[in-house]
């Protein structure tokens, strides 16, 4: 199988994916690492802003210390292990 990465269709798809990634990031000037690989690639393919709306930022739930974890960062296998009986999760 041959993959053409320089076709107009492929380049448009790459730019759209980058737009989606950039939409969910803080502005480059205020990001924690303005020289990250993400921003380097965005600059390389000339995507500096996105036409897509940004996702709603997670505010967190500080009602209990166990709730201060952003659920987006939970590893699925850890969740499965946490739900298994103690003998099965080892």
Percent composition of the chain: helix, strand, coil (DSSP 3-state, to 5): 45, 0, 55
Instruction: Tokens for 34, please give them.
Output: 């303005």
Instruction: Say what the pTM is.
Output: 0.57
User: Distance of CA 42 to CAs 7, 20, 32, 52, 74, Å?
Assistant: 18, 11, 16, 15, 27
pLDDT at position 71, please? 58
pLDDT at position 48, please? 84
pLDDT at position 63, please? 74
pLDDT above 80 (res 17): yes
**Cβ atoms within 10 A of the Cβ of 81, count?**
13
Mean pLDDT, to the nearest integer, of 78-86? 54
Q: What is the CA 77 to chain-centroid distance, rounded?
A: 19
pLDDT above 80 (res 81): no
| Percent with pLDDT over 90 in the chain | 17
pLDDT above 70 (res 38): yes
Q: In angstroms, rounded to a whole number, what is the distance separating the alpha carbons of residues 62 and 64?
A: 5
């Amino acid at each position: 199988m041959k993959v053409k990465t320089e076709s107009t269709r492929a380049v448009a798809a790459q730019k759209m994916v980058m737009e989606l990634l950039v939409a969910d990031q803080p502005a480059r000037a205020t990001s924690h690492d303005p020289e990250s690989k993400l921003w380097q690639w965005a600059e390389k393919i000339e995507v500096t802003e996105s036409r897509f709306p940004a996702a709603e930022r997670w505010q967190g739930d500080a009602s209990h210390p166990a709730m201060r974890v952003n659920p987006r960062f939970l590893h699925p296998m850890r969740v499965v292990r946490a739900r298994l009986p103690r003998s099965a999760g080892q």
